[in-house]
Structure 1
Amino acid sequence: MLNSRPFYDLCIQDSYFNKDNFQKNLKALYNYGYKTIAINQSIDDSDVEPKKKKKKGEPREPQDAVPVPFDLTKIEELVNKLEFGGFTILNRLTVSFASLDTLYKITKSPNFKKYHIVAAAPTTPQALTHTCSTFEADIFTFNPENKFNLRLNRKLYNQLIDRGYHFELQYAPAILDSTKRKNLIHAANLFHLFGKSKNIIISSGADNVNYLRGPYDIINLGLIFGLSELQCKTAITHCAKKTVINSVGRRHGKAVMFVENVEKSPEETKRDSYMEMIEDSDDDITVVDQPKSKKTKT
Structure 2
Amino acid sequence: MSRKVGKNNFIDLNILYKQNESRELIISIIKFAFQHLGYSTVAVNCEQLYSYAKSSNAACSKRKRQQSSMPEPFVVDPTEIDILSLESRGERLRVFSRLTLVVNSVERLQELLSNKIISNYDIIAVCPLNETTFDMAASDSRVHLLTTDVTADNFSLFQGNRLNEAVRNGKYIEISYSPAIMDTSIRKEHKRLMLFRTIGEKGIILTSRATRPMEMRAPYDVINISHLFGMNTNESRSAITVNPQQLLLAVEDNKSKPREQDANLSLATTSNVRFELLKKLSQVPEFNVQMEFQEMASKKLPIPVDDLITLVAKVSERVSLSGTTAHYRRFKFENVLFKDYSAKDLRKVWRILRLKAYGEHNLVQDVQAIEEYIAKLQPPATDRPKKPLTAYMYYVTKRYSKMRSKNPTLTNLELVRILAEEWRKMDVEKKRKYQRHYESKKEDYNRQMEEFYEKHPELRSSHRGRNVRKKEKATVSNETNDLPFVKFMESRSKKYSEKYGLKGKDLRDKLRCKFENLSDEKRRKWILRAENSEDTYVDCNLGLAPIQPSENDVLLFMRVNTLHLKRYTVKLNNEQ
TM-score, normalised to structure 1's length? 0.73
Q: Could you tell me which residue of structure 2 aligns to residue 207 of structure 1?
A: 211
Q: Could you tell me which residue of structure 1 aligns to residue 44 of structure 2?
A: 39
Alignment of 1:164-203 (within 5 A): 164-179=170-185, 182-192=187-197, 194-203=198-207
**2:160 is equivalent to residue 144 of structure 1:** no
Distance across 1 between alignment mates of 2:24 and 2:67: 31
- Structure 2: which amino acid aligns with 1:13? L
The count of aligned residue pairs is 254
Higher RCO, 1 or 2 (CA under 8 Å, sep at least 6)? 1
Q: Could you tell me which residue of structure 2 aligns to residue 234 of structure 1?
A: 238
- Provide the alpha-carbon RMSD of the alignment: 3.4
- Structure 2: which amino acid aligns with 1:28? F
Could you say which structure has the larger radius of gyration?
A: 2
Distance across 2 between alignment mates of 1:27 and 1:119: 24
Distance across 2 between alignment mates of 1:82 and 1:48: 49
Alignment of 1:285-296 (within 5 A): none
* 1:238 Cα deviation from its structure 2 partner: 0.4
Q: Residues 141 and 167 of structure 1 are in contact (CA less than 8 Å); yes or no, is this contact kept in structure 2?
A: yes
The equivalent position to 2:104 in structure 1, one of 98, 101, 110, is: 98
Q: Could you tell me which residue of structure 2 aligns to residue 245 of structure 1?
A: 249
Q: Indicate how the Cα distance of structure 1 residues 97 and 63 shifts in structure 2: closer, same or farther if over 3 A, else same.
A: closer
Distance across 2 between alignment mates of 1:53 and 1:164: 35
Alignment of 1:9-88 (within 5 A): 9-15=12-18, 18-21=22-25, 24-30=28-34, 31-46=36-51, 65-72=69-76, 74=77, 76-79=78-81, 82=84, 84-85=86-87, 86-88=92-94
Q: Could you tell me which residue of structure 1 aligns to residue 10 of structure 2?
A: 7
Q: Residues 17 and 47 of structure 2 are in contact (CA less than 8 Å); yes or no, is this contact kept in structure 1?
A: no
The equivalent position to 1:124 in structure 2, one of 116, 123, 130, is: 130
**2:309 is equivalent to residue 263 of structure 1:** no
Q: Indicate how the Cα distance of structure 1 residues 22 and 251 shifts in structure 2: closer, same or farther if over 3 A, else same.
A: closer
Q: Indicate how the Cα distance of structure 1 residues 266 and 83 shifts in structure 2: closer, same or farther if over 3 A, else same.
A: same
Distance across 2 between alignment mates of 1:266 and 1:157: 48
Distance across 1 between alignment mates of 2:228 and 2:256: 37
Q: Could you tell me which residue of structure 1 aligns to residue 169 of structure 2?
A: 163
Q: Residues 140 and 167 of structure 1 are in contact (CA less than 8 Å); yes or no, is this contact kept in structure 2?
A: yes
Q: Indicate how the Cα distance of structure 1 residues 265 and 115 shifts in structure 2: closer, same or farther if over 3 A, else same.
A: closer
The structure that is strand-richer by fraction is 1
Q: Residues 97 and 103 of structure 1 are in contact (CA less than 8 Å); yes or no, is this contact kept in structure 2?
A: yes
* 1:217 Cα deviation from its structure 2 partner: 0.4
* 1:184 Cα deviation from its structure 2 partner: 4.8
Q: Indicate how the Cα distance of structure 1 residues 177 and 110 shifts in structure 2: closer, same or farther if over 3 A, else same.
A: same
* 1:202 Cα deviation from its structure 2 partner: 0.5
Q: Indicate how the Cα distance of structure 1 residues 187 and 135 shifts in structure 2: closer, same or farther if over 3 A, else same.
A: farther
Q: Indicate how the Cα distance of structure 1 residues 113 and 228 shifts in structure 2: closer, same or farther if over 3 A, else same.
A: same
Q: Could you tell me which residue of structure 2 aligns to residue 280 of structure 1?
A: none
* 1:143 Cα deviation from its structure 2 partner: 2.0
* 1:214 Cα deviation from its structure 2 partner: 0.1
Q: Kindly provide the CA deviation profile for residues 223-251 of structure 1, in whole angstroms up to 9, marking residues without a partner as x.
A: 00111111111111101101111111232
- Structure 2: which amino acid aligns with 1:27? K
- Structure 2: which amino acid aligns with 1:10? L
Q: Residues 210 and 216 of structure 2 are in contact (CA less than 8 Å); yes or no, is this contact kept in structure 1?
A: yes
Q: Residues 102 and 128 of structure 2 are in contact (CA less than 8 Å); yes or no, is this contact kept in structure 1?
A: yes
TM-score, normalised to structure 2's length? 0.40
* 1:162 Cα deviation from its structure 2 partner: 2.4
Secondary structure of the residue aligned to 1:33 is coil
Q: Kindly provide the CA deviation profile for residues 122-165 of structure 1, in whole angstroms up to 9, marking residues without a partner as x.
A: 11011122222335311111023314443445432332222221
* 1:64 Cα deviation from its structure 2 partner: 9.0
Distance across 2 between alignment mates of 1:112 and 1:48: 23
- Structure 2: which amino acid aligns with 1:102? R
Which deviates more from structure 2 when the two are superposed, residues 39-48 or residues 239-248? 39-48
Distance across 2 between alignment mates of 1:63 and 1:171: 29
- Structure 2: which amino acid aligns with 1:245? L
Q: Could you tell me which residue of structure 1 aligns to residue 120 of structure 2?
A: 114
Q: Could you tell me which residue of structure 2 aligns to residue 224 of structure 1?
A: 228
- Structure 2: which amino acid aligns with 1:93? L
* 1:71 Cα deviation from its structure 2 partner: 2.2
Q: Residues 64 and 109 of structure 1 are in contact (CA less than 8 Å); yes or no, is this contact kept in structure 2?
A: no
* 1:28 Cα deviation from its structure 2 partner: 1.3
Q: Indicate how the Cα distance of structure 1 residues 210 and 83 shifts in structure 2: closer, same or farther if over 3 A, else same.
A: closer
* 1:197 Cα deviation from its structure 2 partner: 3.9
Q: Kindly provide the CA deviation profile for residues 3-46 of structure 1, in whole angstroms up to 9, marking residues without a partner as x.
A: 89711000001259834556543331112000000000012224
Q: Indicate how the Cα distance of structure 1 residues 70 and 19 shifts in structure 2: closer, same or farther if over 3 A, else same.
A: closer
Q: Indicate how the Cα distance of structure 1 residues 25 and 44 shifts in structure 2: closer, same or farther if over 3 A, else same.
A: closer
Q: Which runs of 5+ in 2 are unaligned?
A: 258-273, 286-576
Secondary structure of the residue aligned to 2:13 is strand
